[in-house]
Amino acid sequence: MSINYEKIKNWPFAPVEQTYTEKDSILYALGLGLGADPLDQGQLHFVFEEDGFSALPTMAAVLGTPGFWVRDPETGIDWKKILHGEQGIKLHRPLPPAATVIAQTRVTEIIDKGEGKGALIYTEREISDKATGEKLATLTSTTFGRGDGGFGGPTVAQPQPHPLPDREPDEVCDLPTAPQAALIYRLSGDPNPLHADPKVAATTGFDAPILHGLCTLGVAGHAVLKICCDYDPARFKSLNLRFSAPVYPGETIRTEMWRDANVVSFRAKVVERDVMVLNNGRVEISD
C-alpha cells in the first residue's frame, strides 16, 4: 500500500485538548538537564515553582501532539522507515507555566522525492489557550518517509535550510546530558521504547537507547536561551532546525552560535564522538 496524496493531505486530525501543570513544566525542564547546577538562578526559574517561575519556550513542541498517526494502516505510510527531519517552533506569546490548551494539526504538503528516494510529509500544529482563545504557538514538522517515494505526488523542490554563517562561531555552550535523560524526558509525552529499552534499541541498530530528537532540540534551545537571552523566555521568539544524528544519553551537546542582530544561527554536535546532531538552526530573539 502506498501513500494516497489526497487522503493524507486531508487527514482528519481531531482537536487535542491537554491540561498541563507547573509540575509538568518542571518535569520537562528536568528532562533537558536544567537544575544540574541547583545554585544557578537562571535555571532555577524553570525547575522551582516560586519566584520568577516560567515554562521553557521549547516545551511547546510536546504540547497537543496528535500521537503516532502515521502508524494507521490507512495512511499507507511505511512508519518503520520514517525519520523526524525538521522542526520549527514559533511562539506568539510566552508559554504559561500551567494551562489547558487546544491543538489542531494538519498536513500542509507531501513531496514525492521519487522511487527509492522517499517522501517528505509536512505538518503544522496550532496551539491555543482554551481559557482565553489566544494563540500560543505554531509548530511545523517535516517527516522523512524513507520507504514512501514514488507514490505519484508532487515532485516540487523542498524548501532550503537556513544557511550558517561562514565564520567561526561567536558563542559556544557545552551542556551535558544525564545518563537517565531519556527516561526522564519520555515522561513529557513520548513513551517510544526506543528511548528506554536496550533490547528495542538493539533491534533498530543502536548500541543503547537514544535520546529523543526533541530533547536534543530542547538542550540546544536551552543553550541559546542561556547565552543569548539571559534566561528570559519572553525574548525567545522562534526556532527552526534540521536533525542530523542521534544522541546517546550521557553525552555532551556543544551548541555553536552566530549572532546577527535578532537572529541566532546555530548547530550542535556531540563532543565525545565529534558528530553533528543538529544543523541549520535559526532562532529569532528580541532585545
Q: What percentage of residues in the chain have a pLDDT greater than 90?
A: 86
* Any domain includes 279: yes
User: How many separate domains does the chain show?
Assistant: 1
Q: What pLDDT, on the 0 to 100 scale, is given for residue 155? A: 83
* Any domain includes 129: no
- Lowest average pLDDT, out of 42-51, 73-82, 240-249, goes to 73-82
**Host H or E run for residue 198:** helix 198-203
* Any domain includes 276: yes
Question: In this predicted model, what pLDDT tens digit does every residue of 19-38 receive, in sequence order?
Answer: 999 999 999 999 999 999 99
Give the Cα separation of 53 and 22 in Å (integer): 9
Q: Is the pLDDT of residue 102 over 70?
A: yes
239's CB contacts (< 8 A; 6+ apart) are: 57, 58, 87, 88, 89, 217, 221, 224, 281, 282, 283
Q: What pLDDT, on the 0 to 100 scale, is given for residue 105? A: 98
The CATH number of the domain holding residue 242 is: 3.10.129.10
* Any domain includes 224: yes
Average pLDDT in the chain = 95
**Catalytic amino acids?**
190, 195, 210, 213
Question: In this predicted model, what pLDDT tens digit does every residue of 138-182 receive, in sequence order?
Answer: 999 999 999 999 998 888 888 899 999 999 999 999 999 999 999
Q: Is the pLDDT of residue 275 over 80?
A: yes
For residue 191, the number of C-alpha atoms closer than 13 Å in the C-beta half-sphere is: 1
Question: In this predicted model, what pLDDT tens digit does every residue of 223-233 receive, in sequence order?
Answer: 999 999 999 99
In this structure, what DSSP letter does residue 281 have? E
Give the Cα separation of 161 and 141 in Å (integer): 13
* Any domain includes 140: no
Q: Is the pLDDT of residue 1 over 80?
A: no
What range does the domain containing 219 cover? Answer: 171-285
106's CB contacts (< 8 A; 6+ apart) are: 11, 13, 123, 124, 125
Nearest to 185 by CA among 195, 175, 197, 198: 195
Q: What pLDDT, on the 0 to 100 scale, is given for residue 156? A: 81
Question: In this predicted model, what pLDDT tens digit does every residue of 179-204 receive, in sequence order?
Answer: 999 999 999 998 889 999 999 999 98
* Any domain includes 256: yes
* Any domain includes 65: no
Q: Is residue 167 within 8 Å of residue 265, measured between CB atoms?
A: no
Give the Cα separation of 26 and 22 in Å (integer): 6
* Any domain includes 60: no
Q: What pLDDT, on the 0 to 100 scale, is given for residue 2? A: 86
Residue with cell 541498530: 205
